[in-house]
Structure formats: structure tokens, C-alpha cells
Amino acid sequence: MSDLAHEYGIGSLVRVTKQLSHGEERSAFVIEGEIVRMGQQKTGSWYAHARDKKLWLDRLELKKADGEMVVVNLDEGAVVEVVEVVGE
């Protein structure tokens, strides 16, 4: 997440494409919205040798154009594209 934070900030408009796979089946979905919050958040899952013994995920909280709020977990299947950076 730290590398991504240098590319955009709160208020920036981004497009996130998530690639999903289940066996040999693959699909993708796209979410576009304004960044409301970003950073690492811990899950309820226990994970030895991690901070607070929890699994931490990189997450973006987005506000879509229709006002819907969406939380996106960023993993190896996620591609974030900057549509518009705040202040430009």
C-alpha cells in the first residue's frame, strides 16, 4: 500500500479491476470510485508471527458515483488505475 499511496491520495478517482479464478474459470469485475480511505486493516483471521497475530490486508474504501460505499481488498489479482488525481 505504501507504494500506491505515492501515486494517489484521498479524493482521487480510481478504477480497480479484480481478477477472480475458481479452478480453470476466470472472471473479472471493475469498480470505479473516489478514495475515501486507504491502508492496511486487520481481519478476524489469526495469523502467527504477524502484528497483533492477525492477518492484515491492503484495502481501499471507495465511494461510487451513485453514493454506494465499497471496500476492496487489494491482492495479486487487483489492478488499480488512476482516473483523476486530487488537485489536477
From residue 30, alpha-carbon distances to 27, 51, 52, 53 in Å are: 11, 31, 32, 32
CATH of residue 23: 2.30.30
Predicted pLDDT of residue 54: 64
For residue 37, give its domain range. Answer: 2-84
Residue numbers in the chain where pLDDT is lower than 70: 1-7, 44-54, 87-88
Predicted pLDDT of residue 11: 93
What cell numbers appear for 14 in the block? 480510481
7 contacts 60 by C-beta, under 8 angstroms: no
Predicted pLDDT of residue 51: 65
Pick from 59, 56, 71: which is nearest to 4 by CA?
Answer: 59
Name the domain count of the chain: 1
pTM assigned to the model:
0.74
Predicted pLDDT of residue 40: 84
Q: Give the Cα separation of 71 and 37 in Å (integer).
A: 9
